[in-house]
Homo-oligomer: A and B are copies of this chain.
């Protein structure tokens, strides 16, 4: 048998190895929070889209929830305004909100475009469509920081209808309050709220970190699996800080409301989603209900 044939047969083996993973998640909903470097680096972006499209084609039901981070700041500046932050949250006046919504929708349709180019039907919606995300004003330490909303209700009908009709839904985190005023929403919060509302099997955050560390100064202390109990202890013991704290709280909340596994993935690794799902090598940190649902070799 010639060499090219051997290489080809290796490929068959890889496909066969994927079999049990495909089975396990068949027709399950997976919410992917897409953000960070994976949204900026063109190669990484292409790979994330490939991964999600493949998940769709092999029978999963992925939903993308994305932010727009740096692009928003770029456009705020472009129109001559000065980005302003309070306690790390963007102060969002009416003009900023207008720019933010335009940029998020631009990103949204650009993702639709990428998925369509791979032959899969995608539809981009914001939290306004079909009343998907209802919010109320969110204060920052009691201070009004403008049109920043926290989710009070998710109406998942449009998402479920799109999944039912075989579309891949792509969601940008904009919502309306009870007076139908527009608000910006943290994308992590939106992904978490949607995952709960659609009863997702998995929620995966693409981030710019490797995962959760026992000792944040020791790169070898990456934790591959963490029960909700363990996560709460880590938080209680003050190990977790910075942007990881709300993210980890989101993870805990998602698990407690019915999502089976939440993953904090390193979005800087090519095809991190596929690797997480189709191999038994854990990428990043998985938050799980309890030890019985643990499945990586540590």
Interface residues of A, Cβ cutoff 8 Å to B: 4-5, 8-20, 22-23, 26, 47, 50-51, 53-54, 57-59, 78-79, 98, 101-103, 105-106, 108-109, 112-114, 116-126, 128-131, 157-158, 161-162, 165, 167, 174, 176, 180, 182, 269-271, 274-275, 278-279, 281
Contact = CB atoms under 8 A, between A and B. Distances in A.
Contacts of A11: 14, 17, 275, 278-279
A19 to B, nearest CB: 5
A121 B130 contact: yes
30 contacts: A8-B279, A9-B269, A11-B14, A12-B271, A14-B15, A15-B18, A15-B54, A19-B50, A19-B54, A20-B119, A22-B54, A26-B57, A57-B59, A78-B79, A102-B105, A105-B108, A109-B174, A112-B126, A113-B180, A116-B128, A116-B176, A116-B180, A117-B180, A121-B158, A123-B129, A123-B158, A124-B129, A157-B165, A158-B165, A161-B162
A63 B215 CA distance: 54
Given A8-B279, A15-B278, A112-B126, 16 more contacts: A5-B269, A11-B17, A11-B279, A14-B14, A15-B274, A16-B50, A18-B54, A23-B57, A59-B59, A102-B105, A109-B174, A114-B180, A116-B180, A124-B128, A161-B165, A165-B165
In the A-B complex, the 7 residue pairs with the smallest Cβ-Cβ separation, listed nearest first, are A12-B271, A105-B105, A117-B180, A102-B102, A14-B14, A161-B165, A123-B129
Contacts of A59: 57-59
Nearest to A103: B102
A121 B122 CA distance: 20
A23 B98 CA distance: 30
Given A22-B58, A57-B59, A279-B8, A182 B16 contact: no
Nearest to A11: B14
